[in-house]
Structure 1
Amino acid sequence: MVANRLPVDSRTLPDGATEWVTSPGGLVTAMESVMRTVDSGAWVGWGGSPGEAPEPFEADGMSLYPVRLDQQDVERYYEGFSNATLWPLYHDVIVDPEFHRTWWDSYVTANRRFARAAGAVASKGGTIWVHDYQLQLVPRMIRDDRTDVRIGFFNHIPFPSVELFSQLPKRNQMLRGLLGSDLVGFQRESDAQNFLGAVRKLLGYQVDGQVISVPGLGAAPVREVLVQTFPISIDSEAVSALTEDAEVRERAVQLRRDLGDPHKVVLGVDRLDYTKGIRHRLKAWGELLNDGSIDPHDTVMIQVATPSRERVEAYRQLRDEVELTVGRINGDHAPIGRPAVSYQHRSFDRRDMTALFMAADVVLVTALRDGMNLVAKEYVASRPDLRGVLVLSEFAGAADELRAAVMVNPHDIDELKSAILRALAMPEEEQEDAMRSLRHQVMENDVQAWAHDFLQHLEQSGDPAYGTRPTVRLAGDDSTDPEAFDQALEDFSDVPRILIASDFDGVLAPIVDDRDAVQPDPRALSTLRELSELPGVAVALVSGRALEDLDSHTTMPSSVVLVGSHGAEVGALPPWMQSEVLDSAALSMTPEKEDLLRSITENLRRIARAHPGVEVETKPSAAVLHTRNAKGRGSLNATDSALEYAVTLPDVTVTPGKEVVEFSVVHTSKGAAIDALARASAADAWLYLGDDVTDESVFARLGDRDVGIKVGEGDTAAGYRVAGTDEVAAALKRLSELRRES
């Protein structure tokens, strides 16, 4: 667990000693019970006080690892960028966000500190779960150092629309930070869709349903990140069990007695935050009293406003406004000896909070924007008597689940007033029906189920079915044992129906500066022709080159399938191949895509003109920036310019390779092409030879009987490695011999 706060805060006692008390906030409330059930878990977070962090310690059965934040970090990273920039922006700009570059610098520094602490604690192959908006750079930072761990991120607050998120300076860095995760979770479906839209529009990454393809750089393969909705919940059984405690039950009775035994008690419980709609709620309550719709002798409102971020100006201003409004309402309407609004600006422990929920006839949750709002669920869990009414804002995440509540638009004061009156007048039978439905939802879907669901999806994110990053089977220049390699070829040759496929440049032909002057190895081409004539053998060349270009350099017979442009172009097929399989996967150009491609080509040519030696190649569905012949630092600068341009293209697949960056207006990959070819040829297994980053999409799909051969150096998901084109020709010759013998 990596969160901004530990589940406990340090408190200095009068004698100078330090004690640890439970931290405030919904995240701690939700996760504390989860962490107690983990066999081997650690919680990394800030202890709540600026200065040096204490040594790791145990508390309530949890291993806690404090992270240091100094006073400047608290002011700039936490109060500044997190709570005066991100929080208002992510909550629909209810107040104006502030942007300061020094705050961003501190945010980066603090995130790196959390990332290093988590990376040092996590065991090899472990799982790291990062939480909330304060730590959105942490997943990428962890991944840069720890490629062996699974990383999940859960956002507890809303994620804004693309239009609002686009206002954020450093927005792309924020998205890339989150995409260091294997799984990104949100409270509501709308939040997940907003995030996917931001990635698509601002980064230009391919989004297929809930899966984002994150292009790898250098030798890194394409990673796929799953985006999912996981509505958080509470420890429902623990809350419900408190209602059976005799002291808690007596406390609930005493609370009503202290209020003068009113006929109805209405309760609001919130952090003192402008997103919670407290001002709207008080305005509605004041108008109901002014209208005479509510008699303050019969009905009392309790407003609990837990102190929050009181060093931030917007929160100080909010407190002044709320307290002024409460004072005005009480001055105008409170009977002698009884408030019209009992205002409590302090924290309550769980037992007292449960007593408050048991004492309340109506609970108002009127958030203007909220990730979930666990108060709504805590109230439901506190009412096993099936009494009470929940008035719930449609802008709270809980509204997606708690449909039996009285739904309200808190921005509409008249509607809010009507909802309060309806709740106060609701018959007991109707209360029971609604509360029974609400309790079924809350009790069946508790925080344990939420955490289990998230962690199960995170665990499965390593499964090829979820399209996660391929395993690095060979690192650097690790060579393959010759005997093991020969045995693999021998085993493969015995498979009844096989597909043999290969990349072209760097595999069948050495890389040259002039792409038009390429000279494929005649031995390799001759062997592939021979293999294509053998029974049960299908042969294909799968290249990033355009189909016409590939054909002119190979002059292969019709028995060899040519696939160009990373799968976007497919040549003639042998009559025995199931052409409809490939046809169904064909990606045609549209007039809109042709216009887009022309625009991309012109922009890449503009980049090329600024960097001598850089060239632009055009294909039927793609444009490619080639930087191999660039002068000086031109290759790096041109590549950076191309990738910066790529973030403006929401529907374009951008694939960096060896001194190339390809912009494709249709979503293609060599891996998808091999899948289609294997199905079309009814192959029982396939063998593929490749040398580039783009070939990793093939190696990522290796099955138990398939053979992946990396040509040259670099980390790869292939199981075997050969040095160059000479070794490729020898391997194909050996395979031909074995197949003829079988």
Structure 2
Amino acid sequence: MPSSVSHPVDDPARPGHDLVVVANRLPVDSRTLPDGATEWVTSPGGLVTAMESVMRTVDSGAWVGWAGTPGQQPAPFEADGMSLYPVRLDQEEIERYYEGYSNATLWPLYHDVIVAPVFHRTWWDSYVTANRRFARTAAPTASEGGTIWVHDYQLQLVPRMIREDRADVRIGFFNHIPFPSVELFSQLPKRNQILRGLLGADLVGFQRESDAQNFLAAVRKLLGYHVDGQTISVPGLGAAPVREVVAQTFPISIDSTAVSALTEEPELRERAMQLRRDLGNPQHVVLGVDRLDYTKGIRHRLKAWGELLGDGSIDPRETVMIQVATPSRERVEAYQQLRDEVELIVGRINGDHSSIGRAAVSYQHRSFDRRDMTALFMAADVVLVTALRDGMNLVAKEYVASRPDLRGVLVLSEFAGAADELRAAVMVNPHDIDELKAAILRALALTDEEQEEAMRSLRHQVMENDVQAWAHDFLQRLEHSGAPDRGPKPTVRLSGEDITAPEDLDASLRTFARTPRILIATDFDGVLAPIVADRDAVAPDPTALATLRELSEMPGVAVALISGRALGDLDSHARMPSSVVLVGSHGAEVGALPPWMQAEVLDSAALSMTPEKDELLASITENLRRIARAHPGVEVELKPSAAVLHTRNARGRGSHNATESALEYAVTLPEVTVTPGKEVVEFSVVHTSKGAAIETLARASAADAWLYLGDDVTDETVFGRLEQADMGIKVGDGDTAASHRVAGTDEVVAVLARLAELRRES
């Protein structure tokens, strides 16, 4: 992607994109020009290099990622025909989510603990928060039935978070780094949450077959899910249906045609020759190109090189080594230490073996652009890829693509993913310094005929299996994985915290009030009454209750309270007249109906308890009480047909941990409706919802339209059923399918008063 001045996205509300890529970083970095305009230039890194050409082939593509600087993110913009949606990260999140959990916890653990991973619970909290922000940015950008492709270890929770909002899209995840053995992965705190996050995808892709098998083994052992070959059966919460998730190998590649084409440019050919002249026209140039990372085996390589010079196997006047070490994660302590060690080793080698005007090791601690890097590859007789553990290593493939002359030798670690494909390379175990030294000497001694034979094989593999083929294979497999569910999750109408403009809300209320027969329904906690820690101390607004009573006496108006509270509990706190219908336990309990309401519409038989349901409820209650005992402050409420885990008063991290335990338990209950809410998880042995309840009440009251006020996740089952004449009012913030939003309970009082006023006038 060439540099370009950015342009804002013309219409953020336009229909979404067919393909949305979600990665930790945007594919560009910003640079301020002298005139104040912003120029965006391509970011370094394997993922950007791999995906850049793929995104060019998509009719409607978007990329969601962090813009690279802390603080407020820029607005969505377009660069080179791609829509870019920046995600905000503040400085503390960069330190905890990115430098901490991603790169000091996950990275070393996933790379076979070359460096010991560090575990901090606050890092995990930031990881969850950041992943949710990525998910909330990505979910609304995809078109109906579109595809969202999430990338890499920094965003392992995102697939599940997106699925919670967008059941209609296909979700893929690709892990660019290794996935550890189950024995290593089991050391990770919150390991099950990571697995469940990944299993939100329809397809989980890996670089090597061993990585896919490690993931399948972890799912089988730690979650206990059924695995058949590459297919995992993921149970839904309670009665939700089982989903199938596929784990498969897709070795990533490069835009090999573009790299190979660069070598035909006379300017680059001259640059490659000039590089050799600048080095004194040595007989051999040996090259290492890596991010400065402890997984790349740079220290092992330099140790072997130093010993070869020391024992006279290599003459520094005839053979020169270039080591490019691209700066990486320089705020992370392990990387600071590595840089110091590498520079110390290079200094020692050069001090012992360099001659005046020629260094034994030319050390370059900086980034090179693609053209300069291609020139380096063209100049190199041998490239050393000695990774101790690597998901793929695209340097190996870039070198091969840069050698249409069929010259050069690739020395390749057997622990790099590329080793599975590039079998004609000189293979080496970099942990064995003697073997590494022998491999370097063998590479330097290969004849032109031997080089040509090996490089011809390597180029066939790289040129035939380029990044476009990789992306095509992944997306084609994703297209045939899973089955998007277009029913349960409503489309988000309102996101974030923006309040409906007063004039717009009033206009909608005026239209609704003129409807001949209406149903007005509302949740209780968080709508008519502020949420409090002690459920028994709830204090509903007396003006709101009085207005509802007044509305219930008006001709053509039906009024109902629909709450998650048990019916008796709701009745004792609301104290409403018989003209107001009370619905408890999310619709499982219905109070007395006014005489004019058609009671026969309510199918009471479906709500009745049986001895089997009583026994199941008792078992659920005991298990929830066991969870509560393990987390002080957590409480269990028993309803006629449900048990509820309340975590609002939990101490410390108990709320999150108890909720996770409850959700893990939920997948073992195929006959139960499980409803997570605000610091509650309800287990109902009667299958119902607030949405089903309001539809039943609307039929029973013969309403032409209904209005509902709600604040909780459980209220989305109502908002998702809105028809054109209905009104849904979300109380508080959060993404919602409601058509309108007000700030809090004070505004609810005003809405009800205005509705009563308009109804009297109609």
Q: Which bracket does the TM-score occupy, shorter chain normalised?
A: 0.5 to 0.7
- The corresponding residue for 2:399 is 379
5+ residue gaps, structure 2: 1-20, 491-602, 629-637, 651-656, 675-685, 690-715, 718-762
Q: In the alignment, does 2:192 pair up with 1:178?
A: no
- The corresponding residue for 2:210 is 190
Q: Deviations over 1:423-468 (max 9, x none)?
A: 0001111111111110000000000000000000111114xxxxx4
Q: Aligned partners of 1:20, 1:642: CA distance in 2, in Å?
A: 43
- The corresponding residue for 1:336 is 356
- The corresponding residue for 1:528 is none
Q: Aligned partners of 1:517, 1:426: CA distance in 2, in Å?
A: 76
Q: Aligned partners of 1:611, 1:162: CA distance in 2, in Å?
A: 26
Q: In the alignment, does 2:223 pair up with 1:203?
A: yes
- The corresponding residue for 1:656 is 670
- The corresponding residue for 2:343 is 323
Please say if residues 253 and 470 of structure 2, whose CA atoms lie closer than 8 Å, have aligned partners that are also in contact.
Answer: yes
Return the offset for 1:191. Answer: 0.7
Return the offset for 1:53. Answer: 1.2
- Distance of aligned partners of 1:607 and 1:220 in 2 relative to their CA distance in 1, 3 Å threshold: closer
1:447-458 correspondence to structure 2 within 5 Å: 447-458=467-478
Q: Aligned partners of 1:628, 1:28: CA distance in 2, in Å?
A: 53
Q: Aligned partners of 2:381, 2:612: CA distance in 1, in Å?
A: 80
Return the offset for 1:656. Answer: 3.0
| Partner amino acid, structure 2, of 1:163 | E
Please say if residues 204 and 647 of structure 1, whose CA atoms lie closer than 8 Å, have aligned partners that are also in contact.
Answer: no
Q: Aligned partners of 1:474, 1:271: CA distance in 2, in Å?
A: 43
Q: In the alignment, does 2:303 pair up with 1:261?
A: no
Q: How big is the alpha-carbon RMSD for the aligned residues of Structure 1 and Structure 2? A: 3.3
Return the offset for 1:633. Answer: 3.9
- Distance of aligned partners of 1:172 and 1:263 in 2 relative to their CA distance in 1, 3 Å threshold: same
Q: Aligned partners of 2:464, 2:627: CA distance in 1, in Å?
A: 61
Q: In the alignment, does 2:151 pair up with 1:131?
A: yes
1:153-552 correspondence to structure 2 within 5 Å: 153-462=173-482, 468=483, 472=487, 513-515=609-611
Query: SS at 1:124's partner residue?
Result: strand
| Partner amino acid, structure 2, of 1:185 | G
Superposition TM-score, scaled by structure 1 size:
0.67
- Distance of aligned partners of 1:239 and 1:67 in 2 relative to their CA distance in 1, 3 Å threshold: same
Q: Aligned partners of 2:419, 2:639: CA distance in 1, in Å?
A: 55
Return the offset for 1:628. Answer: 9.1
- Distance of aligned partners of 1:213 and 1:299 in 2 relative to their CA distance in 1, 3 Å threshold: same
Please say if residues 673 and 687 of structure 2, whose CA atoms lie closer than 8 Å, have aligned partners that are also in contact.
Answer: no
Return the offset for 1:473. Answer: 9.1
Q: Aligned partners of 1:58, 1:415: CA distance in 2, in Å?
A: 50
Question: Which has the higher mean CA deviation after the structures are superposed, 52-61 or 88-97?
Answer: 52-61
Q: Deviations over 1:211-253 (max 9, x none)?
A: 1111111452111111111000000000000000000000000
Please say if residues 127 and 150 of structure 1, whose CA atoms lie closer than 8 Å, have aligned partners that are also in contact.
Answer: yes
Q: Aligned partners of 1:257, 1:391: CA distance in 2, in Å?
A: 24
Q: Deviations over 1:556-599 (max 9, x none)?
A: xxxxxxxxxxxxxxxxxxxxxxxxxxxxxxxxxxxxxxxxxxxx
Q: Deviations over 1:150-186 (max 9, x none)?
A: 1101011111111111111111111111111111101
Please say if residues 373 and 397 of structure 1, whose CA atoms lie closer than 8 Å, have aligned partners that are also in contact.
Answer: yes
Query: SS at 1:85's partner residue?
Result: helix
Please say if residues 10 and 49 of structure 1, whose CA atoms lie closer than 8 Å, have aligned partners that are also in contact.
Answer: no
Q: Deviations over 1:278-327 (max 9, x none)?
A: 00000000000011100001100000000001011111110000001000
Q: Aligned partners of 1:428, 1:292: CA distance in 2, in Å?
A: 24
Q: Aligned partners of 2:36, 2:430: CA distance in 1, in Å?
A: 46
- Distance of aligned partners of 1:311 and 1:653 in 2 relative to their CA distance in 1, 3 Å threshold: closer
Query: SS at 1:45's partner residue?
Result: strand
5+ residue gaps, structure 1: 463-467, 476-506, 519-544, 546-602, 613-626, 661-689, 694-713, 716-742
1:569-588 correspondence to structure 2 within 5 Å: none
Return the offset for 1:76. Answer: 1.2
Q: Aligned partners of 1:333, 1:82: CA distance in 2, in Å?
A: 39
Return the offset for 1:643. Answer: 8.8
Quick one: percent identity of the two aligned structures?
A: 79
- The corresponding residue for 2:75 is 55
Q: Aligned partners of 2:471, 2:160: CA distance in 1, in Å?
A: 22
Return the offset for 1:653. Answer: 9.3
Q: Aligned partners of 1:472, 1:653: CA distance in 2, in Å?
A: 20
- The corresponding residue for 1:584 is none
Question: Which has the higher mean CA deviation after the structures are superposed, 354-363 or 167-176?
Answer: 167-176
Please say if residues 206 and 653 of structure 1, whose CA atoms lie closer than 8 Å, have aligned partners that are also in contact.
Answer: no
- The corresponding residue for 2:31 is 11
- Distance of aligned partners of 1:336 and 1:398 in 2 relative to their CA distance in 1, 3 Å threshold: same
| Partner amino acid, structure 2, of 1:55 | A
Q: In the alignment, does 2:59 pair up with 1:39?
A: yes
Please say if residues 628 and 659 of structure 1, whose CA atoms lie closer than 8 Å, have aligned partners that are also in contact.
Answer: no
Q: Deviations over 1:647-666 (max 9, x none)?
A: 79xxx994532279xxxxxx
Return the offset for 1:642. Answer: 12
Please say if residues 221 and 470 of structure 1, whose CA atoms lie closer than 8 Å, have aligned partners that are also in contact.
Answer: no
- The corresponding residue for 1:561 is none
Q: Aligned partners of 2:156, 2:662: CA distance in 1, in Å?
A: 23
Higher relative contact order (CA 8 A, sep 6+): 1
Please say if residues 168 and 484 of structure 2, whose CA atoms lie closer than 8 Å, have aligned partners that are also in contact.
Answer: no
> Match for 2:103 among 83, 99, 119?
83
- The corresponding residue for 1:121 is 141
Query: SS at 1:370's partner residue?
Result: coil
Please say if residues 212 and 226 of structure 1, whose CA atoms lie closer than 8 Å, have aligned partners that are also in contact.
Answer: yes
Q: Aligned partners of 1:219, 1:31: CA distance in 2, in Å?
A: 39
Q: Aligned partners of 1:143, 1:403: CA distance in 2, in Å?
A: 39
- The corresponding residue for 2:574 is none
Please say if residues 611 and 630 of structure 1, whose CA atoms lie closer than 8 Å, have aligned partners that are also in contact.
Answer: no
- Distance of aligned partners of 1:54 and 1:605 in 2 relative to their CA distance in 1, 3 Å threshold: closer
Please say if residues 173 and 203 of structure 2, whose CA atoms lie closer than 8 Å, have aligned partners that are also in contact.
Answer: yes
Please say if residues 240 and 670 of structure 2, whose CA atoms lie closer than 8 Å, have aligned partners that are also in contact.
Answer: no
Query: SS at 1:123's partner residue?
Result: strand
Please say if residues 89 and 165 of structure 1, whose CA atoms lie closer than 8 Å, have aligned partners that are also in contact.
Answer: yes
- Distance of aligned partners of 1:254 and 1:109 in 2 relative to their CA distance in 1, 3 Å threshold: same
Return the offset for 1:25. Answer: 0.7
- The corresponding residue for 2:590 is none
Please say if residues 387 and 435 of structure 1, whose CA atoms lie closer than 8 Å, have aligned partners that are also in contact.
Answer: yes
| Partner amino acid, structure 1, of 2:479 | E
- The corresponding residue for 1:672 is none
- Distance of aligned partners of 1:633 and 1:39 in 2 relative to their CA distance in 1, 3 Å threshold: closer
- Distance of aligned partners of 1:82 and 1:57 in 2 relative to their CA distance in 1, 3 Å threshold: same
| Partner amino acid, structure 2, of 1:193 | Q
Return the offset for 1:514. Answer: 4.7
Please say if residues 377 and 402 of structure 2, whose CA atoms lie closer than 8 Å, have aligned partners that are also in contact.
Answer: yes
Return the offset for 1:77. Answer: 1.1
1:657-736 correspondence to structure 2 within 5 Å: 657-658=671-672
Q: How many residues align?
A: 530
